[in-house]
Structure 1
Amino acid sequence: MSPSLLQASAASFVLLSIGHTVNGRQWTSDPRFRAIAGTKPWASGTVGWYQGSAFFFLTGLLHYQWSRDPTALQDPINKAIAGIVNVLLWSSSAWYVKHGIKDNALAVGLSAVLQAWGVVQAIL
């Protein structure tokens, strides 16, 4: 069993984390968003966005750990984590498509494919 797909999946999550952070800097500088500065939606939106970036990075570390020991994905908890992450990726990609944000949809969708492929290969 080759861990390279899981390593590639780990790298995709790190790239998603970086892209997510950069994208957050763009939308938080939007005048409409700045107009609500200091409000609960502004605070929640900002911190939540960067928590999402940290989630992507953390998930990248988890996939890297799995690449070092793919047998860890035989454990039901790790399978559940992998499944939840994949559902989250596909749901996010679909949401982006629905709202016409094609570049994000493509990036997240490609990461979903890579993640699923790597995890399934490790499980089989």
Structure 2
Amino acid sequence: MATPSRSLQASAVTFAVLSLAHTVSGREWQADPRFKSLARTKAWSCAKVGWYQGSALFLMTSIIHYQWSRNPLALQDPLNRAVAGVVNALLWASSGWYFKNGISDNGWAVGLSAALHAYSVVSNAF
């Protein structure tokens, strides 16, 4: 078995924290009276469930990074590399979207997690 990867462990912790912070921050913007005025509409429903799906994605990413950290050789598998690539593309696109729309704190958090993800995967996949 391969030596456990510290960078993948760090990335797993980062994504767990990001999941928790993402969930908590959702409560903040959902308390905004403008958002509440949309209650029971399609926009309200999609925004609310989509936000928590994002939190679940961060948690799943944390779990898979933890799994990879225990066996970095798993990243030799093309399917694991594909998962890592999709996750990284999603993170960079989300970070860019946040910056484009003036939400720089989220942009930085997601962008930094994307960079750590890319570093930890690439340094263990090749």
Query: Contact conserved, 2:4 with 2:71, CA < 8 A, in 1?
Result: no
Where structure 2 has 5 or more consecutive residues not aligned to the other structure, the ranges are none
Amino acid at match of 1:16: L
More moved, 37-46 vs 24-33 = 37-46
TM, length-normalised to structure 2: 0.94
Where structure 1 has 5 or more consecutive residues not aligned to the other structure, the ranges are none
Match of 2:16 among 9, 14, 21: 14
- Pairs within 5 Å for 1:42-57: 42-57=44-59
The equivalent of 1:75 in structure 2 is: 77
TM, length-normalised to structure 1: 0.96
Identity %: 58
Q: Distance in 1 between matches of 2:7 and 2:21?
A: 21
Match of 1:95 among 94, 97, 103: 97
Amino acid at match of 1:17: S
**Residue 64 of structure 2 corresponds to residue 62 of structure 1:** yes
Q: Distance in 2 between matches of 1:28 and 1:116?
A: 31
Q: Distance in 2 between matches of 1:81 and 1:105?
A: 22
Amino acid at match of 2:92: W
Deviations 1:35-60 (A, max 9, x none): 01111211121111111101110110
Q: Distance in 2 between matches of 1:64 and 1:2?
A: 10
RMSD: 1.0
Q: Distance in 2 between matches of 1:33 and 1:47?
A: 14
More moved, 60-69 vs 1-10 = 1-10
Aligned residue pairs: how many?
A: 124
The equivalent of 1:119 in structure 2 is: 121
Deviations 1:32-88 (A, max 9, x none): 110011112111211111111011101100000000000000000000000110111
